């Protein structure tokens, strides 16, 4: 009997075909959202592998999956997975480092340009019959010559910085772990403390995992230091930024705009005040939402399944389970 994989997030026909294309070992794929409660219970007892993007994976779910060999995340952030519970049960948890960096980096740059050039506002007004050829020029900007500040400078942050520099920006960054001098030189990046980044940057983009120490990291104190022409991009996790504080800063016009791909509650609540601003670009957590990224992360994920099927250890284990 082939090993069984439960895929936990919602799927559509095109994505199912993509999963099957990567399933070179012909393992049996089971789709959580297509099963009844009874079928889910049976699937848990039979599952050899969990494959998950954003669905919450609890210790209880893993405990009921007595055959489980691996919880495989498609992406980087694993705040939806009980790492400690998995470690206690002896189940490795892996992610796919680097697989989503390009997609998230490109979305970051796209949001910056959109905000700087008022593309979402001008798109709506042009389609509505207005011809605002001149009105927004005094408050539109170019990336060239601006300071791009990074909060978090891992794979995604560095990929974004490389793209940003092509547009002529200066790179500054804050991260808990500072790069060595040679890597800073290669990237043309200058380290600063958190509040100094907010004070000096024209553009701020956030590229951090959600951890106890990063939850609520960006609040009123930090946002008060953004320049009046400054924009903030959050493509990491929603709960890193205090959304009410951000809405207040936008309402007081102490900053120029924000691009938000991740939210404190997902799907985003309809009464979220950030949805009311024309100078906020709101997207539904699609930072890594490209076919190219899917191909990369699924190749890494199914590669891990193949390693275990062949008796080897998976790559990119996060919870020290061998």
Question: Each residue of 244-280: pLDDT tens digit?
Answer: 999 999 999 999 999 999 999 999 999 999 999 999 9
- Beta carbons within 10 angstroms of residue 49's beta carbon: 25
Note whether 31 and 90 are same-domain residues: yes
* 266: annotated active-site residue: yes
For the four alpha carbons of 77, 79, 80 and 86, in that order, the dihedral sign comes to: positive
Q: For residue range 56-80, what is the model confidence (pLDDT) as tens digits?
A: 999 999 999 999 999 999 988 899 9
pLDDT recorded at residue 1: 85
> Average of pLDDT values for 15-23?
95
Distance CA 243, CA 250 (A): 11
Note whether 229 and 87 are same-domain residues: no
Q: For residue range 80-93, what is the model confidence (pLDDT) as tens digits?
A: 999 999 999 999 99
* 237: annotated active-site residue: yes
pLDDT recorded at residue 321: 87
What range defines the domain where residue 54 resides?
4-99+290-309
The whole-model pTM stands at 0.91
pLDDT recorded at residue 322: 78
Distance CA 136, CA 139 (A): 6
Q: Is residue 268 part of a domain?
A: yes
Catalytically annotated residue among 148, 158, 225, 237? 237
Catalytically annotated residue among 20, 285, 309, 310? 285
Note whether 43 and 181 are same-domain residues: no
pLDDT recorded at residue 287: 94
Note whether 53 and 123 are same-domain residues: no
pLDDT averaged over every residue in the chain = 96
Note whether 152 and 258 are same-domain residues: yes
Cβ-based neighbours of 176, under 8 Å, separated by 6 or more: 213
* 253: annotated active-site residue: no
């Amino acid at each position: 009997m082939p090993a069984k994989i439960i895929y936990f997030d919602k799927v559509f026909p095109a994505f199912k075909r993509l999963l099957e294309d990567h399933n070179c070992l012909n393992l049996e794929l089971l789709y959580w959202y297509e099963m009844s409660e009874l079928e889910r219970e049976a699937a848990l007892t039979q599952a050899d592998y969990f494959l998950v993007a954003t669905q919450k994976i609890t210790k209880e779910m893993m405990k009921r999956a007595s055959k489980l060999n691996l919880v495989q995340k498609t992406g980087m952030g694993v705040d939806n997975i009980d790492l400690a519970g998995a470690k206690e049960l002896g189940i490795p948890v892996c992610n796919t480092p680097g697989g989503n960096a390009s997609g998230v980096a490109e979305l970051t740059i796209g949001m910056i340009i959109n905000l700087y050039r008022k593309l979402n506002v001008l798109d709506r007004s042009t389609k509505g019959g207005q011809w605002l050829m001149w009105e927004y020029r005094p408050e539109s900007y170019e990336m060239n010559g601006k300071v791009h500040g990074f909060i978090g400078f891992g794979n995604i942050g560095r990929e974004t910085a490389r793209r940003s520099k092509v547009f002529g920006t200066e790179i500054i960054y804050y991260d808990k772990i500072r790069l060595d001098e040679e890597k800073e030189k290669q990237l043309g990046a200058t380290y600063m403390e958190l509040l100094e980044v907010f004070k000096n940057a024209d553009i701020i983009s956030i590229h951090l995992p959600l951890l106890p120490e990063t939850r609520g990291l960006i609040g009123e104190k930090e946002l008060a230091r953004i320049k009046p022409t400054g924009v903030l991009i959050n493509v990491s996790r929603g709960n890193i930024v205090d959304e009410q504080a951000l809405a207040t800063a936008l309402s007081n016009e102490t900053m120029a705009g924000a691009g938000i791909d991740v939210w404190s509650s997902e799907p985003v609540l309809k009464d979220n005040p950030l949805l009311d601003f024309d100078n906020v670009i709101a997207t539904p957590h699609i930072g890594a939402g490209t076919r190219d990224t899917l191909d990369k992360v699924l190749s890494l994920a199914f590669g891990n399944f193949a390693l275990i099927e062949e008796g080897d250890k998976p790559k990119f284990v996060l919870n020290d389970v061998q």
